Amino acid sequence: MAVKDQFRLLWAYLGMSLKTLLEYRLNALLFIGSMIINDLAWMLFWLLFFTRFPNVNGWDFSYMIILYAVICFSYGLASGIFRNANKLQNIIANGTLDYFLPLPKNILYHLLIEKSSQYSLGDILFGLVLAVIFIPIYNFPLFLILSLLSATIIISFQIIIGSISFYIGNSRRLSASLNGGVMSLSSYPLSIYHGIARFIILFLIPAGFLAGVPVELLKSFNLTWFLLLTGFTIAILLIAIGVFYKGLKRYESGNQMYVRS
């Protein structure tokens, strides 16, 4: 019963966002188009790179294609459905959070689905097309599952980073930097990192689990790593929810510090 209601709510919000997008049709195309251009540009970049440097440490252009298929698709899903995860720090710092508190819905879920990114369709399309072309059909279901897990990790991480705003008042830029940084770290092959850096990037900042691991699993499936990925996803999601609600309690107790000059 409650789950059905949540879906209905999500559907309603997606409808609103789609309608808003279509209000300005030209603009919509521009957004979607520019995201596709962006993704294509990166593909071009890597193509040129690997033309110049054919074989680097065992990874090549085909690796990058799969990496981008996963990342674009999962990031598109994340920003298409739970857009506000990326903007959480703004919502808190601006006080927009207040809008959701008097409403009879689960606060975190409600605020996450309230907006959808106009760029997301571009990413989703691009990722899907890459996947359809370059990933063998038998692996497609795996691709979808891995992308879902990846999207969940992205959203969870953004929630944690956005929740910093509960504690330092205005973490807009810090959170934006960290979110951007993690996505960047994820867009490069895991093997360029080694030692402590690799450990951090894999477990603490989940860049490795976000993209690197799914790509490896698509190239050659390994049950242990798949279970690790699933476990990690669930763990980070639970942590994210916990961090948010703890921060929310703090917010509602009004211990937020305001700076007055």
Contact footprint for other proteins (CB under 8 A):
5, 8-9, 12-13, 16, 19-20, 23-24, 27, 30-31, 34, 37-38, 41-42, 44-45, 48-49, 51-53, 55-57, 98-99, 101-105, 110, 170-174, 176-178, 180-181, 184-185, 188, 191-194, 197, 252-261
- Whichever of 143 and 189 has its CB closer to other proteins, that residue is 189
- Whichever of 41 and 238 has its CB closer to other proteins, that residue is 41
CA atoms within 13 A on the CB side of 79: 19
Shortest gap between Cβ of 37 and other proteins (angstroms)? 6
Structure tokens at 11: 């559907």
CB-CB contact of 62 with 189 (8 Å)? no
Structure tokens at 196: 């402590």
Q: How far apart are CA 140 and CA 138, in angstroms?
A: 6
CB-CB contact of 196 with 109 (8 Å)? no
Going by C-beta distance under 8 Å and a sequence separation of 6 or more, which residues neighbour residue 198? 190, 208
- Whichever of 239 and 248 has its CB closer to other proteins, that residue is 248
Shortest gap between Cβ of 110 and other proteins (angstroms)? 8
Nearest to 165 by CA among 78, 104, 99, 86: 86
Q: What distance, in Å, lies between the first and last C-alpha atoms of the chain?
A: 50
DSSP 8-state class, residue 212: I
- Whichever of 27 and 222 has its CB closer to other proteins, that residue is 27
Shortest gap between Cβ of 247 and other proteins (angstroms)? 14
- Whichever of 139 and 256 has its CB closer to other proteins, that residue is 256
The DSSP string of 94-109 is: HTGGGGTTTSSS-HHH
CB-CB contact of 158 with 180 (8 Å)? no
Shortest gap between Cβ of 164 and other proteins (angstroms)? 10
Shortest gap between Cβ of 116 and other proteins (angstroms)? 12
Shortest gap between Cβ of 73 and other proteins (angstroms)? 20
- Whichever of 22 and 235 has its CB closer to other proteins, that residue is 22
Structure tokens at 35: 């995201």
